[in-house]
């Protein structure tokens, strides 16, 4: 039977980790998978997480099962940070998920069970979005996320929503758009919220980078505008980036609705999907986040660490933007883009030349994780880019 299986290509993004690790050149530069790096090129565990882990070690008295919803203390502790301190608590319920990917999978599976047929999504997007939609068996309808000028294309979203049919879900990136770094502006969100409401589609907001753009509150602006305008929505959340918990897989799936009965039933559906998929999410990272958010001093420490990440990424973006023009590439817009990612208009040959000649690793789409650039390698990267694109 097994010989009938079709070969599968390795996940292109995750394959970069191995390719980069295998490169013996000490000057190699990793701009691939989305992990934050310090100015020294490391991805350390947050100090606040280490402190919470110590607390966990001392105080956790059981590792007995929690259930398919995971740590509800964690799920609820995030609510004011994500939805706002004054959000109507009766409208929202959630459950823990294994990372942002698990949360997106739960959201799309629940939408499918509710009758969703099609996901409307701006492209380019995080490649796994399309893979998850396909795995759940829904149709994908795409629209262009960016204008030729490199701004977020509100008109393309407007047209996609105008064309929407019953059973459609629109997937929106809450902030730090992956892969372009081009977010909707607050003024655009002000238009998007009533537009989504008028279209009648179910919004699914993927918020995987809250705090890496302009701050926890500012990065939730779009999500909060949309949720204030619509009767129901789904939210996929990740703590993998803003708490640096990548491999611990810490995410949450939230349902927002004015209908209390539908809320309970949606969560019950989420729980049965979880049970048949991973049974229960991994506990450790979520428990650490719960401890941080339940302690003012640890919350302050974590906020400070998140601030330092933003400040460093702003410096990197400033330096990249200062390069102005590298051959045909206009670098100036990178200064205003948000989060870990930006996209460079490079051909497959140029991306391969960067890898082979200069040891620079980036996604095949031209996406670069700007956090892979440090004071020690940014000039090398700019020179390499000039070499292949200049
Ligand atoms: C990325 O886009 O690089 C990250 O979100 C890692 C992943 O799971 O793809």
Q: Given the CA of residue 128, which atom of ligand 1 is nearest to it?
A: 9
The verdict on whether omega for the bond into residue 124 sits within 30 degrees of 0, i.e. cis, is: yes
For residues 209-224, give the mean pLDDT.
98
- Give distance in angstroms: CA of 262 to centre of ligand 1: 32
151 CB within 6 A, ligand 1: no
Rounded to whole angstroms, the Cα distance separating 140 from 117 reads 9
- Give distance in angstroms: CA of 33 to centre of ligand 1: 6
For residues 103-125, give the mean pLDDT.
98
Distances (CA, A) of 160 to 4, 142, 244: 39, 8, 35
Catalytic annotation present for 206: yes
pLDDT computed for residue 166 by the predictor: 85
Residue 50 tokens read as 């280490």
Mutate-to-test residue for ligand 1 from 20, 34, 177, 368, highest number of ligand atoms within 8 A of CB: 34
pLDDT computed for residue 153 by the predictor: 98
DSSP 3-state of 89: helix
Catalytic annotation present for 90: no
Query: Is residue 12 scored above 90 in pLDDT?
Result: no
Which domains does the chain carry? Answer: 10-45+297-389 (3.90.1150.10), 65-294 (3.40.640.10)
Q: Given the CA of residue 34, which atom of ligand 1 is nearest to it?
A: 3
Could you report the per-residue pLDDT of 15-71, keeping only the tens digit for each? 999 999 999 999 999 999 999 999 999 999 999 999 999 999 999 999 999 999 999
Q: Which of 126, 252, 274, 384 is catalytic?
A: 126
Query: Is residue 390 scored above 90 in pLDDT?
Result: no
DSSP H stretches of helix in the chain: 12-22, 47-59, 72-83, 99-113, 127-136, 154-162, 186-199, 216-219, 221-229, 260-277, 284-293, 296-322, 348-358, 378-389
pLDDT computed for residue 10 by the predictor: 87
Residue 112 tokens read as 């499918």
Catalytic annotation present for 189: no
Q: Given the CA of residue 32, which atom of ligand 1 is nearest to it?
A: 3
Rounded to whole angstroms, the Cα distance separating 209 from 276 reads 28
- The residue to which tokens 């009965």 are assigned: 261
For residues 191-206, give the mean pLDDT.
97
Give DSSP secondary structure letters for 236-278.
EEE-TTTT--GGG-EEEEEEEES-HHHHHHHHHHHHHHHHHHT
Comparing CA positions, the residue from 243, 273, 241 lying closest to residue 255 is: 273
Could you report the per-residue pLDDT of 337-389, keeping only the tens digit for each? 999 999 999 999 999 999 999 999 999 999 999 999 999 999 999 999 999 99
Could you report the per-residue pLDDT of 125-183, keeping only the tens digit for each? 999 999 999 999 999 999 999 999 899 999 999 999 999 998 899 999 999 999 999 99
Assessment of whether the complete model's pTM goes beyond 0.85? yes
Q: Given the CA of residue 240, which atom of ligand 1 is nearest to it?
A: 5
34 CB within 6 A, ligand 1: yes
Query: Is residue 234 scored above 90 in pLDDT?
Result: yes
- Give distance in angstroms: CA of 35 to centre of ligand 1: 8
Comparing CA positions, the residue from 114, 113, 111, 73 lying closest to residue 94 is: 73
Q: Which of 236, 241, 286, 287 is catalytic?
A: 241
Query: Is residue 289 scored above 90 in pLDDT?
Result: yes
Give percent of the chain with pLDDT exceeding 90.
97
pLDDT computed for residue 29 by the predictor: 97
Contact residues for 156 (Cβ-Cβ < 8 A; gap 6+): 122, 143, 144, 145
> Is the distance from CB of 43 to CB of 36 less than 8 angstroms?
yes
Give percent of the chain with pLDDT exceeding 70.
100
């Amino acid at each position: 039977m097994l010989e009938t299986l079709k070969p599968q290509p390795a996940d292109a993004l995750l394959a970069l980790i191995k390719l980069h690790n295998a490169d013996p050149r000490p000057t190699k530069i990793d701009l691939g998978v989305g992990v934050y790096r310090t100015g020294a090129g490391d991805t350390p565990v947050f100090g606040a997480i280490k402190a919470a882990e110590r607390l966990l070690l001392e105080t956790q008295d059981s590792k007995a099962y929690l259930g398919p919803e995971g740590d509800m203390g964690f799920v609820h502790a995030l609510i004011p940070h994500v939805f706002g301190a004054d959000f109507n608590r009766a409208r929202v319920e959630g459950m823990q998920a294994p990372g942002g990917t698990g949360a997106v999978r739960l959201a799309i599976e629940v939408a499918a069970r509710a009758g969703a047929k099609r996901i409307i999504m701006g492209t380019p997007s995080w490649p796994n979005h399309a893979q998850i939609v396909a795995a759940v068996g829904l149709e994908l309808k795409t629209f262009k996320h960016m204008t030729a000028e490199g701004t977020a294309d509100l008109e393309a979203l407007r047209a996609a929503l105008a064309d929407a049919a019953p059973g459609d879900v629109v997937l929106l990136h809450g902030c730090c758009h992956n892969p372009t770094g081009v977010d909707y502006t607050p003024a655009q969100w002000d238009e998007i919220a009533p537009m989504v409401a008028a279209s009648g589609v179910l919004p699914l907001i993927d918020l995987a980078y809250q705090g890496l753009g302009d701050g926890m509150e500012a990065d939730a602006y779009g999500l909060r505008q949309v949720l204030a305008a619509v009767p129901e929505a789904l939210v996929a959340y990740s703590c993998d980036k803003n708490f640096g918990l990548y491999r611990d897989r810490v995410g949450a799936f939230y349902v927002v609705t004015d209908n209390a009965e539908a809320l309970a039933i949606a969560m019950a559906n989420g729980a049965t999907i979880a049970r048949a998929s991973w049974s229960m999410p991994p506990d450790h990272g979520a428990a650490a986040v719960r401890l941080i958010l339940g302690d003012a001093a640890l919350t302050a420490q974590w906020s400070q660490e998140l601030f330092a990440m933003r400040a460093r990424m702003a410096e990197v973006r400033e330096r990249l933007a200062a390069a102005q023009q590298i051959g045909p590439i206009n670098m100036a817009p990178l200064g205003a883009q948000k989060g870990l990612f930006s996209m460079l208009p490079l051909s497959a040959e140029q991306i391969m030349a960067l890898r082979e000649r200069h040891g620079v690793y980036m996604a095949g789409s031209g996406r670069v994780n700007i956090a892979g650039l440090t004071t020690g390698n940014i000039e090398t990267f700019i020179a390499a880019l000039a070499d292949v694109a200049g």
